[in-house]
Chains A and B, each alone.
Chain A
Amino acid sequence: MMQEVLRLQNLQKSFGSVRALKNASLTLKEGEVVALLGDNGAGKSTLIKAISGVFPIDRGDIYVRGEKVSIRSTREAMDLGIETIHQDTSLAPDLSIARNLFLGREPVNLKWLGVFAPLDLAKLRDAASALLKRVGISKKLDADALVSTLSGGERQSIAISRAMQFAAKVIILDEPTNNLGVEETHGVLRFVKEMREAGHSVLLITHNIHHVFEVADRIIVMRRGEIVAEQTVADTDLLTVESLITGADLSALMKRAQ
């Protein structure tokens, strides 16, 4: 019933002598939220950058809906329905919110002019306003405001609404709740749930385990470039997950202490 959307097989990636990814494999099913956990430097961002076409992988295979693909650019990833919100801010501060929302996929008139085609400014503005309204931040933000005038949380909300608008098959969020206030954090988590209900798959990277238990179906833990554990949320608990991340057997320690 749950169809496989994305499958990674034995991905490898090195930066010089640093082996950031060693044989990472995972699958993502339709309408599933998978949390990718791991300490700083475990290779989480590297993994998702490989999927989203930021850089090529050294070795390994990627399958989208069972079909083998090679993702050589961010454009190819987007065309395959993979939308990513990167940890390092993914907006251009000197552009307006509206222009950022449609960056790379601008609505244009006279399409045959290619890159010289004029932007459809009315459509750009209307679509941006509609989108901001849908995410629930339209009261505060004007679609023509420059992103450089926004707070970190507001920027994150913009990046998320952008992933939302293109209704991608797979949405990847790299620490989306970083720097967010309580309200915005709940907004993000609500968004993740909404995406699942709409049948999208979400790959969520976070350091906040409470969030994981709130929204995720499955947990995948990485350590030093490898996937070391995979569990369904229903079958595990906070302590176990924490020990998996650090590599220390915390639950055994707790037992001994009792």
Chain B
Amino acid sequence: MVQQAGAVTAEDGAGRANAKSSLMRSPQFSSFVILVVLLVVFAVADGNFLSPLNISNMMAFLPELGIIALGMTLLLTAGEFDLSVGAVFALAPVVVMLLVQNAGVDIGVALLAGLLLCIAIGAINGVIVTKIGISSFLVTLSMLLIVRGAALYITQGFPLKSWDQPGFFVTLLAGSFNIGAFRFYTSLWWFIGLSLLAVYVLRYAKLGNWISAIGSNRNAAVARGVPADAVKIWLFILTSVLAGLAGMISAFRISAASPVAGTGYELEVIAMVVVGGTALTGGRGTILGTIVGALMLRAIRNGIVLVGVPGLAYNIFVGVIILAMLILHALLQKNAARS
């Protein structure tokens, strides 16, 4: 009976006998298989794919989009999404660095200001979506324009001059360390830690039950006393804050803040999430799937360069693979429903 293992509930199934088969049919599992296949294909096609340098490179980029994808997964599970994350990714570091470089504000205070800005953006998104009842597509699309426009305007369109003062916060967000021949950034720890937290919340905590219920049938959740609007507003805030955090990590890593950073990230992040098996319509979310999705998109972007696909043709491949994944999920789900 428990065929759609994609749902949060499948893992605590008492039907141990079919737990294995339900896992095999789950969307995150099929994504995982495809990820492995892709990794093998790239590794065979190009010997450098699994080289320490290349793996280190992939692991440097992975957390930046991956962290946003965690927030987006929770938001999508609750039935909403956020198109303004790419713009927030740019605005937060731009504001922080302007405050430090031009206004002489202490970096800690500037980061706090950046955090408050992200909270405000998320709260505005959430309040308009829930209290005024405009779809999150329209609200966050407008917010994308406002936030991106603000980043461009306050910088006059120029990237900020480089940031070369190491310090506690830089080490905390973008410090690096070596393990053998591999070079990792502290952002990887952030991604791992936040992932564990997100898995816990969505699958095991009371809040996760609420999030899934809200996305599955909002009226039913409200009728049971679940504060649906408040949960959604907090998820919008969380997603914005994570986008800002990712932006800071990226800016510290490359020692610069650009007003056009993160352009198109919103769609890339949503692609990671749905490729992992989270339903765009809400109710069914999987953090493990999102991690697989984030790894997959990272590997694809990296791998197709190595195997020699012309740069301008990247997106064709990325699009085709995403589409193939979604078709696969849909077919699997149809199958599950029939049997």
Residue on B nearest A85 in the bound complex, by CB: B223
On chain B, the number of residues with a Cβ less than 8 Å from chain A's Cβ atoms is: 37
Q: Which residues of the partner chain A approach B15 to less than 8 Å between Cβ atoms?
A: 142, 144
Q: A interface, how many residues as a size bin?
A: 35 or more
**Does A232 sit at the interface, judged by CB under 8 A?**
no
Residue on B nearest A54 in the bound complex, by CB: B223
Residue on A nearest B197 in the bound complex, by CB: A116
CB within 8 Å of B: which A143-159 residues: 143-146, 148-149
A54 adjacent to B222 (CB under 8 Å): yes
B221 adjacent to A92 (CB under 8 Å): yes
B213 adjacent to A92 (CB under 8 Å): yes
Minimum CB–CB distance from B171 to chain A (whole Å) comes to 28
Which listed residue (A90, A108, A116, A145) contacts B223, Cβ 8 A? A90
Minimum CB–CB distance from A155 to chain B (whole Å) comes to 10
Residue on A nearest B3 in the bound complex, by CB: A149
B206 adjacent to A117 (CB under 8 Å): yes
Minimum CB–CB distance from A56 to chain B (whole Å) comes to 13
Which listed residue (A78, A91, A94) contacts B225, Cβ 8 A? A78
Which listed residue (A73, A88, A144) contacts B13, Cβ 8 A? A144
Partner-binding segment picked from B4-12, B97-105, B152-160, B242-250: B4-12
**Does B326 sit at the interface, judged by CB under 8 A?**
no
Q: Which residues of the partner chain A approach B220 to less than 8 Å between Cβ atoms?
A: 89-92, 100, 103
B1 adjacent to A125 (CB under 8 Å): no
Minimum CB–CB distance from A187 to chain B (whole Å) comes to 21
Chain B, 201-218, contact with A by CB distance < 8 Å: what is the 0/1 string? 100111101101101110
Minimum CB–CB distance from A108 to chain B (whole Å) comes to 5
**Does A238 sit at the interface, judged by CB under 8 A?**
no
Q: In the complex, what distance in Å separates the CA atom of A91 from the CA atom of B222?
A: 11
**Does A118 sit at the interface, judged by CB under 8 A?**
yes
Which listed residue (A94, A116, A121) contacts B7, Cβ 8 A? A94
10 A-B residue pairs with CB within 8 Å: A91-B220, A92-B283, A95-B283, A99-B209, A100-B220, A115-B207, A121-B204, A145-B1, A146-B9, A148-B4
